[in-house]
Chains A and B, each alone.
Chain A
Amino acid sequence: MPHTSKILLVDDDRLILKVIAGALSRKGFECYKADSVAEALKILKQAVPDMILSDYSMPKMDGFEFRKLVLMDKRWKNIPFVFFTSFGGQELMQQGLNMQAIDYIDKNTPMHLVVSKVSNILNTIRKQHEQSISELGATARALNLRTVPSEAPHIKGFKLDFLYETFEAYPGGDFIDFIDTDNGHTFIILGDVMGKKWGAWFFSFNYLSYIRSAIRLCVLEGDFSTASIVNKINRVIYKDQVLNNVLSTLSLLVIDHETGEIHYTGAGDVPLILYRSAENECSQIKSSGVLLGVASDGQFSEEVIRMEPDDQLIVVTDGMIDFYGEYGTRTSYPLFVKTITPLLGKHNTFELIKAETFSEVKMTEVVDDRSLLFIQKLH
């Protein structure tokens, strides 16, 4: 979803509120107007803006008292705060800046410069923020804390690939992995921890560690059943004090290299899309399991998919079925299926899907991190 910066304007002079809000709105900002501190506090309880622009001098409660209240509340204290005033006294300015206001704007400043200044402040903050995210990401990579591999493995007789895109440059709750066993099986893991950004990413790393260990242990014991493995993972997570309130979807597949069969078990995941080349038809494969960690018995089923040459299988996380459009954000699996269907059965289906769903234009419609797995049986 394209981000519109929201600015809370606080001034007892309604004409000034109207003029500034008009100028900022014309440049694409969304403005909340408050003609008193009491009104501003009411607005803050409903929505957190990207910046607060407040007058110093107001009846009843002034801008300094307002600033103190904002600083005392953990939800609001980090919102960039700028004083907007007609008083140019050095002392007042200093007082404002001492209260961690990041700047002040003189009311006599021409309106186009006010708009430029607001834009510059927000851009600077955004850049600093992006740099912090980038540094954190680099640290995570240096520690080898990956929730998505760099590439898919090569499996004889199959084309296997994936697409992954973060949301607003944050790693999110999606996790992907491939585990090759010594006896001709490849496990494919696609999951999505419910939540967004760093919190979800942290737990997705924990989840993935659990799942990797569970698969390795089960394989060592000769258990290749996806339903059995997911059931064991679920039972552990259900009892885990840290993870049992963090929920996750999971699509677990295993490809048998010898037979070409794929076994699949899902936990609260989006149905798979299967394209049958011989019939030139698509169908959906639903699993019965509920989200990991919800119940001790997750009701996990195991579907067996016999892949024939040129059959294609698509596995996605729910970020792929969320869209931001003219009427706001919505979730529509049928719309996603409708988008994907004409691309299936081509010699370059994966590339077509990438171009269609991960294009720059589509990125403006994204509201979550998104993952897609592509499996095709070759001749």
Chain B
Amino acid sequence: MFESFKYNDYYVVKIKGREATLKNAEKFKEYVTSIIKEGDHFLVISFEGVKYIDSTFMGALVSLLKYALFVKGDIAVANLNKDIYNLFCLVRMEKVIMIYDKLPDSFTGSFGRYSE
């Protein structure tokens, strides 16, 4: 369902399959949470091959982002297809989470998006 590997200065989590939905959102949360708990606080979630994301999965993603920021880390997304990229922009997710076209050479760090 997911695979992960270390890539330069961050961790990559790849979603396998064509849909990121209610059906795999909970497992995704468990999977990414365990990676963060093991000490890898900077992650890029790769949506390569994913054609559709529903609001449950998006909610899981934002919830994980909040957790990563809480432990002074960050989460970004990469390899979004056109529909998913448009959806992220439509609901202003680009203000919340960093979006890369493809896996970056290095994690550029938080935008400082949050004013506490």
Contact = CB atoms under 8 A, between A and B. Distances in A.
Interface stretch (B6-14, B37-45, B89-97): B89-97
B58 interface: yes
A262 to B, nearest CB: 21
Interface in B12-70: 18-19, 21-23, 51-56, 58-59, 62-63, 66
Interface residues of B, number: 31
Given A288-B92, A331-B53, A195 B84 contact: no
A331 B52 contact: yes
Interface in B78-106: 83-84, 86-87, 90-93, 95-96
Nearest to B23: A48
A247 B113 CA distance: 17
Contact of B91 (A197, A269, A297): A269
Interface residues of A, number: 40
Interface stretch (A153-161, A302-310, A322-330): A322-330
A46 B1 contact: yes
A318 B59 CA distance: 13
Given A295-B114, A330-B83, A331-B84, A194 B58 contact: yes
Interface string A238-278: 00000011110100000000000000000011110000000
Nearest to A271: B90
Contacts of A245: 63, 66
B116 to A, nearest CB: 6
**A48, A322, A331: residue with the most chain B Cβ atoms closer than 10 Å:** A331
Contacts of B113: 295
A367 interface: yes
B59 A195 contact: yes
Contacts of A331: 52-53, 83-84, 86-87
B55 A173 contact: yes
Nearest to B116: A296
B90 A270 contact: yes
Given A46-B1, A195-B59, A196-B56, A299 B87 contact: no
A248 to B, nearest CB: 9
A291 interface: yes
A287 B13 CA distance: 31
28 contacts: A173-B55, A194-B55, A194-B56, A194-B58, A194-B62, A195-B22, A195-B59, A196-B22, A196-B54, A196-B56, A244-B66, A247-B62, A247-B63, A291-B92, A294-B66, A295-B115, A297-B114, A322-B52, A328-B18, A328-B52, A329-B19, A329-B21, A330-B83, A331-B52, A331-B83, A333-B87, A333-B90, A368-B55
Interface of A: 45-46, 48, 173, 192, 194-197, 200, 244-247, 249, 268-271, 288-291, 294-297, 299, 318, 322, 327-334, 367-368
Interface of B: 1, 18-19, 21-23, 51-56, 58-59, 62-63, 66, 83-84, 86-87, 90-93, 95-96, 113-116
Given A194-B58, A249-B91, A333-B87, 14 more contacts: A196-B22, A247-B58, A247-B59, A247-B63, A290-B93, A291-B91, A294-B96, A297-B115, A318-B87, A327-B51, A328-B18, A328-B52, A331-B84, A368-B54
